């Protein structure tokens, strides 16, 4: 809401730039790209399924991701590009984006497996030199965890792992620009490439804190336990 042009520049103009290059390549690549669970917007049916409506975005970000899905359809239809959109539900873990509020979860390891599965099952594009020869593959999948997690549970686990009490400032949900929950139905991804999240929140956050403390040099309870056991933090060296 504070910087709308950044979303338009990246999610619409940037995506079109990529597709313009891909359509004229010979051979054309198959593309797996990042959509978002935000496209479900004001949908109140849970868990969210790829069959649910996505025409009521709750934020401009969501609207640009939905626009990306429609743009993908257009380039698939006109130019024969093979396109797979992945609707990511909030992802956390080592090397995660530092701006993400970890509300509802799937672990990066699980998501990477989903991305690789989508790549491995992507069919070839069917165009050449900007001209479509026959219909091409067009897909969209949810990638997320099937068990939503309350924010309070996240905070409690992090307090334990960090050995510190959180300074809590509880605020109400904004009236616009956000949704109260997300919940992924991943049965389609499981059917097509065996996607099945397997990491519980406590284990995943422990690995994240381990990476974070090593990467940023932060002293945490987890880091002390690692050092006491003689284990080398991820990204470190013996």
Average pLDDT over residues 179-189: 86
> What pLDDT was estimated at residue 238?
25
- Please provide the DSSP assignment of 20-77 as one string: HHHHHSSSPPPEEEE--GGGGTT---SSB-TTS-----SSHHHHHHHHHHHHHHHHHH
Q: Are strands 91-92 and 106-107 parallel, antiparallel or unpaired?
A: parallel
Q: Provide long-range contacts, Cβ within 8 A and 24+ apart, for 170-176.
A: 176/1, 176/58, 176/59
- pLDDT bin (cut points 50, 70, 90) of residue 152 is confident
Residue 178 has pLDDT above 80, yes or no: no
211 is written with which tokens?
């990476």
Residue 32 has pLDDT above 90, yes or no: yes
The answer to which of 7-16, 22-31, 121-130, 158-167 has the lowest mean pLDDT is 158-167
42 is written with which tokens?
């004001």
72, 71, 38, 37: which is closest to 57 by C-alpha? Answer: 38
The residues assigned a catalytic role are 61
Higher pLDDT, 180 or 166: 166
């Amino acid at each position: 809401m504070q910087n709308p042009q950044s979303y338009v520049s990246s999610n619409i103009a940037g995506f079109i730039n990529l597709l313009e290059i891909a359509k004229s390549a010979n051979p054309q690549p198959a593309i797996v790209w990042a959509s978002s669970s935000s496209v479900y917007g004001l949908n109140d049916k849970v868990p969210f399924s790829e069959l649910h409506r996505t025409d009521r975005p709750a934020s401009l970000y969501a609207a640009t991701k939905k626009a990306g899905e429609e743009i993908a359809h257009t380039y698939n239809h006109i130019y024969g590009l093979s396109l797979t959109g992945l609707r990511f539900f909030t992802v956390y873990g080592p090397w995660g984006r530092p701006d993400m509020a970890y509300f509802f979860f799937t672990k990066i390891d699980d998501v990477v497996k989903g991305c690789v599965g989508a790549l491995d099952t992507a069919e070839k594009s069917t165009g050449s030199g900007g001209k479509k020869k026959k219909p091409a593959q067009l897909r969209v999948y949810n990638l997320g965890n099937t068990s939503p997690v309350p924010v309070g549970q996240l905070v409690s686990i992090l307090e334990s792992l960090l050995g510190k009490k959180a300074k809590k400032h509880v605020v109400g949900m904004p009236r616009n620009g956000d949704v109260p929950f997300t919940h992924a139905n991943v049965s389609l991804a499981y059917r097509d490439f065996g996607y099945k999240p397997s990491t519980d929140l406590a284990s995943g956050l422990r690995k994240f804190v381990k990476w974070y403390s090593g990467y940023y040099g932060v002293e945490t309870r987890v880091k002390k336990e690692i050092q006491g056991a003689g284990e080398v933090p991820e990204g470190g060296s013996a």
